[in-house]
Structure 1
Amino acid sequence: MKQASLPAMPLVALECSSYTQVAMAVQTGRYAGFLPEFAKNAAFAGNSDVIQRPLEKGLRYDRSLVLAWREASVRNRPFLEKVIEALRVRIGKAL
Structure 2
Amino acid sequence: MDWAVYLLRCSDGTLYCGVTRDVERRLAEHNGLRAGGAKYTMSRRPVELVAAVPASDRAEALRLELRVKRMRRADKLAFFTRGVPAAETSG
Instruction: Sort the TM-score into its range (normalised by shorter chain).
Output: under 0.3
User: Higher strand fraction: Structure 1 or Structure 2?
Assistant: 2
TM-score, with length taken from structure 2 = 0.25
TM-score, with length taken from structure 1 = 0.25
Larger radius of gyration: 1
Which structure has more relative contact order (CA 8 Å, sep 6+)? It is: 2
